Amino acid sequence: MEGKPLGQQKQDWVRLVADRLRTESGSALLLVGVAVFALLWANSPWSESYVQLWETHAAIGIGDFRIDMSLHHWVNDGFMVIFFFLIGLEVRQELAVGSLRDRRQALVPIVAGLAGVALPALIYLAIAGRDAPEAWGAVIGTDTAFLLGALALVGPKMSSQLRVFLLTLTVVDDFLAVAIIGIVYTESVQWMPLGIAVVCLVFLFLLARANEWRSSPYIVVIVVLWAATLLSGVHPSLAGMAAGLLIPASDPDREDVVRAKRLFRDFWQSPRADAARNVRLGLAKSISVNERLHEVLLSPVALFIVPVFALANAGVDLRGGMLGDALTSPVTWGVVAGLVLGKFGGIALGSWIAVRAGLGTLPQGVGMGSVFGGAALSGIGFTMSLLIISLALEGEVAGQAIVGVFIAMVLSWVLGWLTFTFARVKMNETTADLPTKLSRPVDPERDHLLGDPDAPVTIVEYLDFECPFCARATGMWQDLGEYFTDGGARYVVRHLPLEDYHPHAFQAAIAAEAAANQGKFWEMHNLLFANQERLDVQFLRGYAEEIGLDLDRFDLDMLDDELPRRIRDDMQSAIDSGARGTPTFFLGETRHSGAHDARTLIATIEAQRKEAAIRRRS
């Protein structure tokens, strides 16, 4: 930052800190810091100010309608509803377009999640059932933010597949925890507000069925839903989760994406305010309202709402013999055993049984040792635990339970580190990710290639002719070719038709291979991408005629069993190399993650070349 003005240096420093806190490990460390600060404040000479702050009342009202609560209740019953709404959004995403859509991939974490709720509750009741049975819900939840942050710090270096498995598991975990909060910890019900809440849920359902893409109608209904649920006596967390589940999620629609591109072109040609508004609306319509709300809320929840919740609930006064009483209390050790042993045992055993019984499979690249490590980290209950403790217990018993949550958090972290270390050393599980290396080397005699066949830089793309993102990447090679003017790069394409999503992609790939038999693969490649909306069989022969193919030979090749076999070989090599979607790029032999525009690919290639040069010199 040398040479920059002081103001710019401060801005860069603030941006650096903010970016670090947005990472999973950064947000977890922020939570730890806030929780420790709350403990220090509650045990300092200024502890009275801590209590007074959270007992301060604040109210909102319109006319005769008024909601008056302490700041502590505003945090737990107001802010945290947004947290649970975010969880609901994530559950809906997983059900619609994520891992819960695939039964065999979803069943193992679902079974593990159920076992990871049941066993902790049983262990807690066995130890503390006589002293505080009502707090059994404090050991059933996992703090997703802490879990992922701890995974980033003590888990395998590459763990994206394990992360997906654990996210699916915590979705089940959190859903059950919120349901239990709403059902078990509701003391009395006011039926009129509850009826209004039900009407709001029905209205959200109808908005989704009507394909309403604007977020504002959903937000208005959700605010009314929160107020009605709060007044009904049911904990608002249940309303937050239910609302999130009703917000529609879907993959981007190709027509909407193309329309947004056209609107942006209009703005580019004539930058007026109305054109800018149309671009903004077009972009919003191309992304599901679920994903847009999730993107807007993710950072505020992680960096503000959950830390404020930790500050409001983690401040336990340990003076006056409180810590000694907690360390001898069955409630404390019931929470510790339930979270540490119950979570570890329930999730590990549930996963093992589900796999052995053939109910499903673990994600590719994830071993059972890594699952056990994730099970150990799942004992970090924190957010869910503190919330349920605040609902179920009061006074010293509540403080003892909170101490148990802190002890469990530390022990789960240590147990997770030990388990991952054991898995790495004894079970050779160094990663928990998809393969990152190209399984089948480039063969200029077989692969479709542009550029110098002997070039030192290789870019391999797995593509799908019906994929709109692949179509937008087609101009990338021209930019790369202009950069590597000395012929120092070659571009290779392989097939990965996503048949579940693109019904015409496989037949289009066969047409491209049939054209390749007559030396015109790239001409057909370009024509197929230019006509993505017309890839039915009846159009393919017209494209063959347009590029001058021998139609009789083209017709015969389209029926040749060898071409589908070749495409299947490409698809298998994609799976073996860790490619799951399109487009997927490999730079050299390494799978590229992140943006795939030409500028990003060039920067990555240059970084790889510099690293290789340093290794050669050393």
**Position of tokens 């050790």?**
333
Query: What is d(CA 157, CA 415) in angstroms, rounded to the nearest whole number?
Result: 18
Least confident of 186-200, 264-278, 446-460, 492-506: 264-278
Question: Is pLDDT above 90 for 92?
Answer: no
Least confident of 229-238, 538-547, 559-568, 604-613: 604-613
pLDDT mean over 372-383:
92
- 3-state DSSP assignment of residue 493: strand
What domains does the chain contain, in order, with CATH numbers? 6-186+235-251+288-426 (1.20.1530.10), 448-617 (3.40.30.10)
Predicted confidence at residue 525, as pLDDT, reads 94
For the chain, give the mean pLDDT. Answer: 87
Predicted confidence at residue 382, as pLDDT, reads 86
* pLDDT tens track for 32-76: 889 899 989 999 999 899 999 999 999 988 887 888 899 998 998
Query: What is d(CA 140, CA 504) in angstroms, rounded to the nearest whole number?
Result: 46
Q: 125: part of which helix (H) or strand (E)?
A: helix 103-128
Higher pLDDT, 225 or 614: 225
Query: What is d(CA 319, CA 407) in angstroms, rounded to the nearest whole number?
Result: 17
Question: Is pLDDT above 60 for 104?
Answer: yes
Report CA dihedral (59, 60, 63, 66) to the nearest 10 degrees. Answer: -60
The most confident of 5-9, 107-111, 255-259, 453-457, by mean pLDDT: 107-111
pLDDT mean over 586-590:
89
Query: What is d(CA 382, CA 310) in angstroms, rounded to the nearest whole number?
Result: 8
Phi, psi of 437 (to 5 degrees): -105, 145
Predicted confidence at residue 352, as pLDDT, reads 95
Query: What is d(CA 88, CA 163) in angstroms, rounded to the nearest whole number?
Result: 18
| Alpha helices for 301-394 (secondary structure H) | 306-313, 322-327, 330-337, 343-356, 368-377, 382-392
Higher pLDDT, 337 or 581: 337
Other Cβ atoms less than 10 A from the Cβ of 126: the count is: 13
* pLDDT tens track for 447-487: 999 888 888 888 999 999 998 888 877 777 777 777 776 66
Residue 18 pLDDT grade (very low, low, confident, very high; cuts 50, 70, 90): low
Predicted confidence at residue 16, as pLDDT, reads 60
Other Cβ atoms less than 10 A from the Cβ of 469: the count is: 15
Percent of the chain scored above 90 by pLDDT?
43
* pLDDT tens track for 141-180: 898 878 888 888 888 877 778 887 888 888 788 778 878 8
The most confident of 416-420, 599-603, 607-611, by mean pLDDT: 416-420
Predicted confidence at residue 14, as pLDDT, reads 59
Residue 4 pLDDT grade (very low, low, confident, very high; cuts 50, 70, 90): low
Predicted confidence at residue 406, as pLDDT, reads 92
Closest CA to 554 of 513, 584, 506: 513
pLDDT mean over 195-216:
93
Question: Is pLDDT above 60 for 1?
Answer: no
Residue 601 pLDDT grade (very low, low, confident, very high; cuts 50, 70, 90): confident
* Contact (CB, 8 A) for 412 and 348: no
Helices (runs of H) and strands (runs of E) counted in the chain: 29, 7
* Contact (CB, 8 A) for 457 and 489: yes
* Contact (CB, 8 A) for 232 and 189: yes
Least confident of 101-115, 209-223, 392-406: 101-115
